[in-house]
Structure 1
Amino acid sequence: MSEETAEGRAVSSRRTRPLRHVHRDVGSAPFIVIWEATRACPLACLHCRAEARPARDPAELTTDEAAGLMRQVTDFGRPAPLFVITGGDPFERPDLYDLVREARRLGLAPAVSPSATPALTTASLSRLREAGASVISLSLDGATAALHDGFRGFGGVFGRTLRSWQEARDAGLKVQINTTVTRTNLGELPEIAQLVRERGALLWSVFFLIPTGRGRELTSLTAGESEDVLNFLYDVGGTVPVKTTEAHHFRRVALQRHILAERDADHEEVLGLGPLYGDLRRRAIDLRLIGSTRPRRPPIDVNAGRGMVFVSHTGEVSPSGFLPVSAGNVRDRPLAEIYRNSSVFVSLRDPGLLGGRCGACEFRAVCGGSRSRAFAVTGDALAEEPWCAYQPGGFPFAEELANLL
């Protein structure tokens, strides 16, 4: 869901900040709190972290407990963390509008991440806006109905997504579009970016798959392919407001590309990018997705447990929804105390504890790699990022990099 609008961006690559940093102590308060309101959802998406099922769990937080959770979020102080209501499908909770109203009453700015089900109607989107939501996110995993609906497990979802996208904007809601990168849809990424540009979105959030939940059955990208996709995303970032999810090395790429642009160096040669990048870039040029003077949105320095906290439908607290290591439960212990003092969270905020290449990397303090992917692949949340091809010390312009870091 939305992290924030990209205010203050400059049009020139020479004036653009390559990274944004959270203007708060992330050891004391998170930048974003994500609450999984339910795991119920009628869809059967191939990548689903929650392994959603049709029926609601009777152990879900009740309406009163959910209101208590939101009060706990306000205990972090001002400015309040971003607050995202996700699922499953939040519309499976009949109290959703009441919860959004309560969040707004408490001074939070609730964003909602619904599924494109029959519950997502013009009327429900209008009610969501009237209750106090300002942003929703919708998933788009293909530029065609065949690919997207196959990924989502039902026909008609692609058309409903496009229709709801426009209806949400008509209702006054800002829309973030989420795309999960898999080997299946790599070929349609430029066309998905084109849809985002043509239809308009607050952000295009590109999610790099974590092999957890149903996502364990999907084929992963190689580290080299990830580098190619990240550099393609950087290219189209001048036309489409792009961010990544669970691809924290996008921050490294942003720093590298900023320096290489300053030096007028060939990024493709210096970074050793592969044929996938060349193909994606050529098609992006054909679609006029590259070459715009639009201000670029710098990636923000947030990671699992370091600026981010996730609360499950039953109140379990973890650093991320994709890093299923419980640090406590809000039914037993205040959220702020868990976030600030739990050994799970404290360790993730210390880059000196990172292992492998991540621990030796000069970018470790601003990147840190995906802790969720490291855990899913190795069982160790502090292990090196499996989808990163960078070798520490391999970037040739160390002095310029040191100045930026």
Structure 2
Amino acid sequence: MLSCNGTLLNRDVVAELKKCGTWFVAIPIYGSQQLHDAITGVCGSYELAAKAIKTCIDEGLNVCVKTLVFSRSYAYIPDLLRRYAEVGVKAFYLCDLIEVGRAHLLKGNRITSEQWKLLIERLVELVKEYGVEVDIGGLPSAVPYIIKRFNVSNKLISPSCPAGRGLLAISPSGKVLPCNFLLDVELGDVKSAKLVDVIESSDALKKLRSPQMFKGPCGRCEFNELCGGCRAKAYVLGDLEGYDPSCLILDENSFSP
């Protein structure tokens, strides 16, 4: 899969991507044209992204539309998903707001748990109607919520927070990170050490692989192996092993921080 902003994707580039065996291209759409351009900081970026999506579909390349879920985009999302599903988009990635990097400027704009639950209902309808794939990022508790709400078997779902358990990020400067949202948790540097050595020696990764040892509700939860909570959100509160403040089943389990 190639994840990009879509601004440079024309028919020639798409043709080359297909020759290289690219299976999916992930392109972001953040809502209305005005909102999208405001988030990217580039006037006209919405039109370029939308055109790239159409070009990929026309040329037979699968498309995943990515979007950020926060208070300013929430109202646009159901229509956005349906509109792009109707034109042939095969998958959607919806990421909850995590207030790191430039997103710290959006602090206080995360939607409520009740809003997320309503959105999940719409997502389930979308999957049933169009057969699309939907991935929810930054909100691992969506998995146990869906299991409980729709009586889905645990065996059909993979662990939802992959930080340290199947995912690593490498920064442009070579720093190895548990995920692309844990920008300050440096595990090592690929310029000075082998990646396998970084993985095997990292204390932070050992902690991330032991969710039963997490503190508070996440450590006590029956779904800690499957979910584990968003470690980036816990880290924003000051503790990599702390609880996830955005948990959708926190009240249902009668847990308290």
TM-score higher than 0.5 here? yes
- Secondary structure in structure 1 of the residue aligned to 2:128: coil
Query: How has the CA–CA distance of structure 1 residues 128 and 203 changed in structure 2, closer, same or farther, with 3 Å as cutoff?
Result: same
Unaligned runs of 5+ in 2: none
Say yes or no: does 1:136 pair with 2:37.
no
Counting only pairs closer than 5 Å after superposition, residues 29-108 of structure 1 correspond to structure 2 as none
2:103 aligned partner: 215
Counting only pairs closer than 5 Å after superposition, residues 5-404 of structure 1 correspond to structure 2 as 111-117=1-7, 119-142=8-31, 144-218=32-106, 219-239=109-129, 240-259=132-151, 299-302=157-160, 303-324=162-183, 325-376=185-236, 378-391=237-250, 394=253
Q: Is the 8 A contact 2:68 2:95 kept in 1?
A: yes
What is the RMSD of the two structures over their aligned residues, measured on CA atoms?
2.2
Query: How has the CA–CA distance of structure 1 residues 336 and 161 changed in structure 2, closer, same or farther, with 3 Å as cutoff?
Result: same
How much does 1:226 deviate?
A: 3.3
Q: Is the 8 A contact 1:116 1:160 kept in 2?
A: yes
How much does 1:299 deviate?
A: 4.7
Deviations 1:16-75 (A, max 9, x none): xxxxxxxxxxxxxxxxxxxxxxxxxxxxxxxxxxxxxxxxxxxxxxxxxxxxxxxxxxxx
Query: How has the CA–CA distance of structure 1 residues 228 and 358 changed in structure 2, closer, same or farther, with 3 Å as cutoff?
Result: farther
Query: How has the CA–CA distance of structure 1 residues 299 and 195 changed in structure 2, closer, same or farther, with 3 Å as cutoff?
Result: farther
Q: Is the 8 A contact 1:250 1:299 kept in 2?
A: no
How much does 1:189 deviate?
A: 1.4
- How far apart, in 2, do the equivalents of 1:236 and 1:196 lie? 11
Query: How has the CA–CA distance of structure 1 residues 172 and 341 changed in structure 2, closer, same or farther, with 3 Å as cutoff?
Result: farther
- How far apart, in 2, do the equivalents of 1:233 and 1:172 lie? 24
- Secondary structure in structure 1 of the residue aligned to 2:14: helix
- How far apart, in 1, do the equivalents of 2:34 and 2:52 lie? 18
Query: How has the CA–CA distance of structure 1 residues 235 and 337 changed in structure 2, closer, same or farther, with 3 Å as cutoff?
Result: farther
Query: How has the CA–CA distance of structure 1 residues 208 and 393 changed in structure 2, closer, same or farther, with 3 Å as cutoff?
Result: closer
TM-score where L is the length of structure 2: 0.87
Unaligned runs of 5+ in 1: 1-110, 263-297, 396-405
Query: How has the CA–CA distance of structure 1 residues 336 and 148 changed in structure 2, closer, same or farther, with 3 Å as cutoff?
Result: same
- Secondary structure in structure 1 of the residue aligned to 2:247: coil
- How far apart, in 2, do the equivalents of 1:205 and 1:359 lie? 27
Task: Indicate the structure (1 or 2) with the bigger Cα radius of gyration.
Answer: 1
- How far apart, in 2, do the equivalents of 1:328 and 1:158 lie? 37
- How far apart, in 2, do the equivalents of 1:320 and 1:313 lie? 14
How much does 1:196 deviate?
A: 2.6
How much does 1:389 deviate?
A: 4.1
Aligned residue identity for 1:335: L
- Secondary structure in structure 2 of the residue aligned to 1:177: strand
- How far apart, in 1, do the equivalents of 2:24 and 2:249 lie? 35
Q: Is the 8 A contact 1:175 1:201 kept in 2?
A: yes
How much does 1:209 deviate?
A: 1.2
Deviations 1:238-290 (A, max 9, x none): 2342111111111112211232x89xxxxxxxxxxxxxxxxxxxxxxxxxxxx
Query: How has the CA–CA distance of structure 1 residues 340 and 224 changed in structure 2, closer, same or farther, with 3 Å as cutoff?
Result: farther
How much does 1:224 deviate?
A: 3.7
Deviations 1:291-316 (A, max 9, x none): xxxxxxx6532421111111111221
- Secondary structure in structure 2 of the residue aligned to 1:149: helix
1:80 aligned partner: none
- Secondary structure in structure 2 of the residue aligned to 1:226: helix
- Secondary structure in structure 1 of the residue aligned to 2:225: coil
Q: Is the 8 A contact 1:175 1:202 kept in 2?
A: yes
Aligned residue identity for 1:387: S
1:286 aligned partner: none
Query: How has the CA–CA distance of structure 1 residues 253 and 112 changed in structure 2, closer, same or farther, with 3 Å as cutoff?
Result: same
Q: Is the 8 A contact 1:208 1:247 kept in 2?
A: yes
Q: Is the 8 A contact 1:252 1:367 kept in 2?
A: yes
